[in-house]
């Protein structure tokens, strides 16, 4: 079996969505869950508590004026679909985004000598995989790298 381990930043929107999911799954706020965890403890609650606590603290820090920063580690099975999505051209984009500060997708395509439409399609695929974020800045869309590390794991 082969998998990939990804260390990536969560977007603000993704954290807000995950927090809503946690509240729905447990039927309570974080503060209520924290009280329950302190009373009952238990391994089955620990993982959710750690994840939920981390995201709540990252969001609170952001609201207090700090830069938003929430990094997680995930391991995903490397199935045929994911493997075929990580083409050499898409990996090239992952490498180029932080190294080439760009103003738009057009700018990125021009610097790489690639067709804008193909670059856009590759970026959309990488966004669906959660590896980048396409952020609107004025009239332009700018790719932002979310991953800090991508490791292939062979077992």
Per-residue pLDDT tens over the stretch 48-102:
999 999 999 999 999 999 999 999 999 988 888 888 899 999 999 999 998 888 8
* Residues of the domain holding 59: 2-73
Cα 8 from chain centre: 5
Do 31 and 92 lie in one domain? The reply is: no
Last residue of a domain, one of 73, 96, 131: 73
The answer to whether residue 28 is domain-embedded is yes
| Count of domains observed in the chain | 2
Our CA angle for 5, 37, 66, nearest 5°, is 60
Same domain, 86 and 68: no
151 lies in some domain: no
122 and 61 co-located in one domain: no
Q: What value does the CA radius of gyration of the chain take, rounded to a whole number of Å?
A: 18
Q: What is the pTM of this model?
A: 0.74
At 108-149, the pLDDT tens digits run: 999 999 999 999 999 999 999 889 999 999 999 999 999 999
Residues 34 and 56 grouped into a single domain: yes
């Amino acid at each position: 079996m082969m998998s990939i381990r990804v260390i990536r930043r969560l977007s603000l929107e993704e954290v807000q969505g995950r927090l809503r999911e946690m509240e729905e799954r447990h039927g309570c706020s974080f503060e209520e869950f924290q009280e329950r965890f302190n009373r009952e403890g238990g391994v089955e609650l620990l993982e959710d508590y750690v994840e939920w606590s981390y995201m709540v603290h990252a969001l609170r820090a952001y609201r207090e004026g700090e830069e938003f920063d929430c990094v997680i580690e995930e391991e995903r099975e490397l199935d045929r679909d994911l493997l075929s999505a990580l083409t050499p051209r898409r990996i090239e984009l992952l490498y180029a985004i932080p190294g080439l500060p760009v103003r738009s997708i057009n700018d990125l395509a021009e610097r790489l000598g690639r067709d804008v439409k193909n670059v856009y399609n590759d970026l959309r695929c990488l966004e669906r995989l959660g590896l980048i974020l396409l952020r609107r800045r004025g009239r332009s869309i700018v790719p932002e790298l979310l991953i800090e590390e991508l490791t292939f794991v062979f077992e």
